[in-house]
Structure 1
Amino acid sequence: MTPPSHYDALGLPVTATAQQIKAAYRRQARATHPDHGGDPAEFRRVSLAYEVLSNPQTRSRYDRSYGAATAPDARTDSAESFAASAAPPRAPGQRGPSASDTPVFVPAYGSAEASTGLAENIARQQIHGVPRKRGIFGAGARLRREALSVQLLSRQILPSIPSARMVNGLHSPADNGFIDHALLAGYRLALIDSMLLPRGNFRWDGRTLHKDGRVVEPPQLAPAVRRMQELFPELNVTGWIVIHSADGNLHEPVIDYTRGYDPDGIAPVHVVNAARLVREIKQFLTSGPAPNTVHVPSLARLLAGMHS
């Protein structure tokens, strides 16, 4: 029985254009994503199909070997070879992958599908890039808050999630600005921006912060979250703005929430202090269907978006 082709996985004819491949992938990725109730095996098949067909060189090789895809010695870029590299089915009662497990690279290095161009030694690094000085005015405050975030994430998150990869200083695809930090683990991406505010109680109403009659506008992270979700349909993308205190107290400032606003609800961006950030990011990254996965194509694209 002939295995489904990459074109079948995306529901496309072999004459599909690059634009049609991209549109079909976004549609199929959303439909099959495990976070949205899809089948993990089907999602992997859709992701591999896009990785092969979106690159003109790998698509050309695949098209040339298309007729021999079922031959025993013609396994390059085939759906069958990808399925063989996937984890075997779990026995009843056997636990699923845990965020504390040894990272699994997808595609696996050394496999026929590992054509992302990202060197393995780079993919194995947990931290990429450093906060860089940008602009003239206020650079000191930016460096301070970004350094606090890097310290917090590298000490409180990365050791407990070996698959997590932190990328610092990304160009925002939504405007000419930057995204301070991104954390990728499994098929989840957390975007993190920050503020440095005095100690005390602030109230968050879902749009602005309030303190003693003063209104504080947080960074506009939501457009970047929405745009990154469009660019990375294989991932679940959510944003956080962490409010740091100058003395590094993780529980200050205190963030209260307006009545009717659910801080645990679904929102594109959450505003939290450092202690709550650690708790929410851990929950977000570890509760996905494959938290010990390093999705190499997504990591490669994030690294390409770092500022220099």
Structure 2
Amino acid sequence: MGEKFLTHYQVLGLSRTATEREVKIAYRKAARIAHPDRGGDPALFRRITEAYEILADPAKRQKYDKSYGAGSRGAGSNGAGSNGAGSYGAGRSPSGPGSRPDAGSGSGSGSDSGGFSGFSTRRTQEQRNTAGDPAIYVPAYEGLAPGETPLLPRPTAAQPVHGAPRKRGVFGAASRLAREARTAQLIMQQVQPSIPAARLVNGLTSPRSNGYLDHVLVSGYRIAIIGSMLVPDGAFRWDGNMLVHGNKVAAPPQLIPATRQFQELFPECNVTAWVCVHSNTGNLFEPVIDYARGTEPDGSNTVNVANAARFVREVKQFLASGPSPNVVDLSVLDRLLGGMY
């Protein structure tokens, strides 16, 4: 991830669970290195000071965490970087497997060729890892300097599922929780076993709004924002906006704004939205959905709608077809965990 997208925690070389005392100690250590009076970089020193002012104030820190800890986008090339933050353990950019993801597509295209500026279809040896390979952590825990704090504790990073659907509101809470539980169980049982690096995060706040997201599934540098629906028996048609059943229509969860916001917050990732449509019968192959031209759920659309069986197949393909599907990027996962409500 580019240096200008470092989080405040990375700038100070801290994990998200750092105590107030650890924040103060890290700030003093970093400030001594970067202070202009000691020959340090003024831009880096400003980043360090800004990070401390946010993280040392409990209210500001809580608000920052809920914003997914987005790094400053206005920092220049001399921001927290090679001659500063890296010297005391903060914000090392990924190297090795996963160092150049299929980032910034914006459209959520599932293709690894065409339309990606700066992305070559020629795959290097490092990019030939498959989704079924053991998870690789970036940055590697083995590469930590003595006394350096990892972005996430290793047991946390190794945990495949984080958070749980939580009761919110009054009306429809029971059915919504049941629906979310079915989708989460489907992911845990049929997607994650074949993709060791896949991490499921349940119960997130929607960025820059008061809404909520059911699930986010991340593997390598691909993020799937997931919602779900429960519909009556029968055949449906998906026109790209609505599920149509006879003379009735059913609107899917409104995931497009969150998907676009996630793409801005995680420019290193390819972000798309998925809606898993459950049937009352419990049959994974129902309901039967007919698709209008150009709306097939293959990951090329901003929102992809499918019944449970096709959802599993297409999401696995979407995650597995990324350039580094077996990478767990600790920076991405750390920021996602900060967005849980």
Look up the match of 1:279.
313
From 212, 218, 226, give the equivalent of 1:192: 226
The question of 1:225 aligning with 2:259 is answered yes
Asked if the contact 2:272/2:302 (under 8 Å) is kept, the reply is yes
Secondary structure of 2:262 counterpart: helix
Query: What RMSD in Å do the two structures reach over aligned CA positions?
Result: 3.4
Asked if the contact 1:202/1:254 (under 8 Å) is kept, the reply is yes
Look up the match of 1:97.
129
- Distance change in 2, residues 1:6/1:171 (3 Å): closer
Secondary structure of 2:141 counterpart: coil
Q: Deviations over 1:109-155 (max 9, x none)?
A: 14237745311101001011111111111011101110110110000
Q: TM-score, normalised by structure 1?
A: 0.72
Deviation at 1:265?
6.6
Q: How does 1:1-308 map to 2 (within 5 A)?
A: 15-16=42-43, 22-23=72-73, 53=81, 60-62=84-86, 96-112=128-144, 115-259=149-293, 261-264=295-298, 266-307=300-341
Deviation at 1:233?
0.8
Whole-angstrom CA distance in 2 between matches of 1:78 and 1:151: 34
Number of residue pairs the alignment of both structures matches: 255
Whole-angstrom CA distance in 2 between matches of 1:129 and 1:216: 28
Q: Deviations over 1:51-109 (max 9, x none)?
A: x54xxxx98554xx5xxxxxxxxx96697x975x769xxx9989821111111000111
Secondary structure of 1:23 counterpart: coil
Secondary structure of 1:297 counterpart: helix
Secondary structure of 1:291 counterpart: coil
The one-letter amino acid of 2:204's match is L
Asked if the contact 1:202/1:255 (under 8 Å) is kept, the reply is yes
Q: Deviations over 1:209-238 (max 9, x none)?
A: 111111211110010000011011111111
**Stretches of structure 2 lacking an aligned partner (at least 5 in a row):** 5-40, 51-70, 99-122
- Distance change in 2, residues 1:208/1:61 (3 Å): closer
Asked if the contact 1:245/1:252 (under 8 Å) is kept, the reply is yes
Secondary structure of 1:272 counterpart: strand
The one-letter amino acid of 2:284's match is L
Q: Deviations over 1:150-185 (max 9, x none)?
A: 110000001000000000011011421111011110
- Distance change in 2, residues 1:283/1:92 (3 Å): closer
Percent identity for Structure 1 against Structure 2:
48
